[in-house]
Structure 1
Amino acid sequence: MVNVKQSFVIKPGKPTPSVSMCVSELDQEKHITHALIVYFYRPPSGSFSFTLASQELRDSLSQALVHFYPLAGRLHFIPGSGGRVALSCNSSGAIFYEARSSAKIEDFSDFSLPDERRSLVPEVDYALDLHELPLLMVQLTELGCGGISLGMGFSNIMVDGTCASHFIAEWARIARGNPIENQPFLDRSVLLAADPTPPPRFKHDRFEPNSLLIGQSDDQEERNKKITIVMLKLNKNQVQRLKDLANETRPTYISRPFSRFEAVAGHLWRCASMARGHQPMQPTKLYIPVSIRGRMPLPKWYFGNAIIKQAASSNATELVKWPLSYACGKIREAVEVVTEDYVKSALDDTKRQPDLTPFRTSHRIGSTTGSFDGNPNMEIFSWLGIPFEGLDFGWGKSIYMGPAAINVDGKSIVSSCEGEDGSLSVALGFQMAHVENLKKYFYQID
């Protein structure tokens, strides 16, 4: 459906520092793959030229990379370091593709065509050596309806959602003819572990083995099961009802009401356990990436991963039989432990791991490497509060943005429905055998 017409290497428009740069302990924990997102735009005005728009986009990207020059570099493994990486700021450049598709915007309104949606973002051959992989990939696609899609892939080691949003916003400002507004803070050494590295002061379970399905000795069978991508949408009234249900039975020792994210996450966790048919004493974890911005002193506009992965834990009986407030309380408990001292202890814990290779999350069905956070577990990302929506490069604001692919069981992303006040969407990778049950339970809100 998508044909790539041209490819370009986009380098910074001016000389930038040619240096080797450390990455933080939080960067080191992340997987080698890319986070893939895509924006959609309605057909621009009659005077619009796709060729000219592509040229302007490439020129503005070149200017943006002057300020965000680490994204034009390459990562490489440090020999004898236990799978750790370093960054070479060498201006190797970002990759930019021009493409054309006969599809219409409406064809991508959900994940009913997952392969076609994935094709709106450049492919990556992870069999290549790490130092050959671009850290930023862009694809501008002219659609059959006259609309446009803009797909991007960011190295997970280089950025979290907040950083990606910051970069995209500044790139769009430059494309519209404006100067950069917020310079990134590029020194990642502020999140390095202490030297010498003391023992952790808190219990951290990020590197402990995941729960397995009762009766299984490993996760290989679950890794190989077919998944599909499910789009679950909640209108404003449904979101409010979940919040009300969560807070009606909130324990008195939890003073602050549960948020809409906690309510939706807790509900999804419970529904997933029921849909998967877990045995009563099945252990299950919900992984929540927690931002440390605002939880410890960090330079404003810090450009690097500032996310720590936390786990809420339960068994299937307690999770399903107890009220929604139980699941929400477990999530709150896992998140609120993240303080400045806790983060510093976590950095030290990462530094003390002899080999990080076994923990790098896999993003391919059937892969036997990396941690597996699927059945009986799951992971939920919140894009709420991250200003991804309404991006304008000069041809109007986007009408929709979202993930281009989810390639692992149990991974979900909660985001606002663009243009719909108060409504939320959940994009979820889930084993095909359990999808219908999941939908049934998810919309039983009472």
Structure 2
Amino acid sequence: MREDKTELGGHHAYSLWFGGRCRWEALEGLKEGGDRAPRNMKMEIMSKTTFMVKPLDQESKGYLPLSEWDQTSDITHASAIYFFKPSRDLDGLIESLTDSLSRVLVPFYPVAGRLRWTEGSRLLLECNSAGVEFTAAKLNCGLDQLGDFTPCPEYEWLVPEVDYSKPIWELPLFLVKVVMFKCGGFTLTYSMSHAIGDGQSAMHFVSEWARMARGEPLKIPPYFDRDVLASPASTSLKGRLVEFVPPPVLLGRTDGVEEQENETMSFMMKLTKSQVDRLKNNANQPPRNGRPYSRYECVAGHMWRCVTKARKHEPDQQTSFFVCVDFRNKMIPPVRPGYFGNAVLDVAATSYSGDLVSKPLGYAASRIRMAIDKVTREHVWSLAEYFRQQPDWSLFQDLHPSGSEDGLFYGNPNFGGTSWLTLPMYGEDFGWGKVAFIAPGIHDYDGDSVMFEMPDGSGIIASLVLQVRHVDDFRKYFYEDIP
């Protein structure tokens, strides 16, 4: 059984670029600090076409009610880019992908639907087979000319564009863009609305799509019954409801507007297995009587301490670390595999900056553990009940395409970290070879991070977004503070 069994979800997990070296062999030899490689190239689209792919069976399935977790937090699209090495001629690629997509949309029929607003900013999902937007393009360069996986303007060429000026009922819930390179490699990028599913659901859909493209049958059928997350009658929860309080806006020495205007950058840091083990050993000293802190808790605690030092907080400055927790296995009984929807929520670990940087790493890990352990079945039910009692859900929704503007979650002095350590990332094969690397899509708000495995399993990559003025100090502490 894996040590990092704690269920950490993908609510924000696939909203980041995974920076770093892009040449396939360079992933293995990534130097500490995630140095950027220079780019001197001109990208040109040789051809491009966009069309709608509809389910093979286009019968309308009516309306699907959405859960509280579908309709709160992000109501925007999140992207992931799948990079495939050059393997053979790409003739037939688009036909194979669109044919298998039309077939996988039959069991995953909500993905081809559209959202509708109802009273109180609630949403319904109309399963009307309106379709998935598919774009196929060819570029004049090879994959190796992209230089590295660090965020850059060129990567926007790979991501489907979502026109948020349109009303929500006209927006596809799933968009695909396939870009073919002259070397024979290609990228497949999807953008999926958070309103219909989280990161685990998105990966489930892509995995089954890949199976159908290879001519294999469905492995895990999806199901959409939101009742598996529903609480019992309100009367049975009386006395057990928690009082929901939005996360505090914890500002530093400057106001929130000024902090949000500071330039940010994305970058990548690598930890070898040996470095991770040293952090774990340090955080778990003296030996714990209970279960040891996981890889995620130790590395996240380490990053939280390093970013606090890099920001040069005063000792009495409050800081929060936001964890995205997948609660599928928190339910009793656990939600069975195949649930397609959102089953994640954010919880906050809090501390004074002085305590965080002066106490051992185990203190930071313990604060994160305490936050994760708050997520129980009763906690999930209580928050859902709280939402149901609210007349206007717009207060809990983020409709902005590039992330929250209200500063509730991330930004100095706060930090957030999502784990992809337990997600199967590198097994997808649409018939042209297995995916070589996965890069979640662009955004640039301060204080977000994602952890994921190296493709060869030799360590962990941490992808972060910080203000430019804090990056060099963070890089320094990140390696200096490993025991």
Under a length normalisation based on structure 1, what TM-score does the superposition of the two structures give?
0.91
For the pair 1:23 / 2:66, whether they are aligned, the reply is yes
Matches within 5 A, 1:25-174: 25-45=68-88, 48-50=89-91, 52-79=92-119, 81=120, 83-108=121-146, 110-174=148-212
How much has 1:363 moved relative to structure 2?
A: 5.7
How much has 1:203 moved relative to structure 2?
A: 4.2
How many residues are matched?
436
How much has 1:202 moved relative to structure 2?
A: 5.3
Amino acid at match of 2:61: S
Under a length normalisation based on structure 2, what TM-score does the superposition of the two structures give?
0.85
Give the counterpart of 1:423 among 441, 456, 459.
459
SS in structure 1 of the partner of residue 73 of structure 2: coil
For the pair 1:211 / 2:250, whether they are aligned, the reply is yes
> For the structure 1 residues 343 and 113, does the alpha-carbon distance in structure 2 shift closer, same or farther, using more than 3 Å as the test?
closer
Match of 2:318 in 1: 283
Give the counterpart of 1:221 among 242, 253, 258.
258
Match of 1:189 in 2: 227
Contact 2:279/2:298 (CA < 8 Å) preserved in 1? yes
Contact 2:272/2:458 (CA < 8 Å) preserved in 1? yes
1-structure distance, mates of 2:467, 2:239: 36
For the pair 1:400 / 2:441, whether they are aligned, the reply is no
2-structure distance, mates of 1:363, 1:171: 29
Contact 2:242/2:379 (CA < 8 Å) preserved in 1? no
2-structure distance, mates of 1:330, 1:114: 35
How much has 1:109 moved relative to structure 2?
A: 6.3
Matches within 5 A, 1:326-365: 326-361=363-398
Amino acid at match of 1:209: P
5+ residue gaps, structure 1: none
Contact 1:313/1:330 (CA < 8 Å) preserved in 2? yes
Query: Could you say which structure has the greater relative contact order, defined with CA pairs below 8 angstroms and 6 or more residues apart?
Result: 2
SS in structure 2 of the partner of residue 294 of structure 1: helix
SS in structure 1 of the partner of residue 196 of structure 2: coil
> For the structure 1 residues 307 and 246, does the alpha-carbon distance in structure 2 shift closer, same or farther, using more than 3 Å as the test?
same
Q: CA RMSD in A?
A: 2.2
SS in structure 2 of the partner of residue 265 of structure 1: helix
Deviates most, 399-408 or 368-377: 368-377
Contact 1:12/1:93 (CA < 8 Å) preserved in 2? yes
Contact 1:236/1:422 (CA < 8 Å) preserved in 2? yes
CA offsets per residue over residues 107-144 of structure 1, 9 Å max, x none? 55644342222321101122221112111111110124
Deviates most, 100-109 or 184-193: 100-109
CA offsets per residue over residues 32-73 of structure 1, 9 Å max, x none? 21111101111112xx234x1011101100101101011101
Match of 2:342 in 1: 305
2-structure distance, mates of 1:439, 1:68: 43
For the pair 1:243 / 2:280, whether they are aligned, the reply is yes
Q: Percent identity over the alignment?
A: 40
Contact 2:90/2:184 (CA < 8 Å) preserved in 1? no
5+ residue gaps, structure 2: 1-42
For the pair 1:262 / 2:297, whether they are aligned, the reply is yes
CA offsets per residue over residues 260-288 of structure 1, 9 Å max, x none? 11111111111111111212111111111
SS in structure 1 of the partner of residue 251 of structure 2: coil
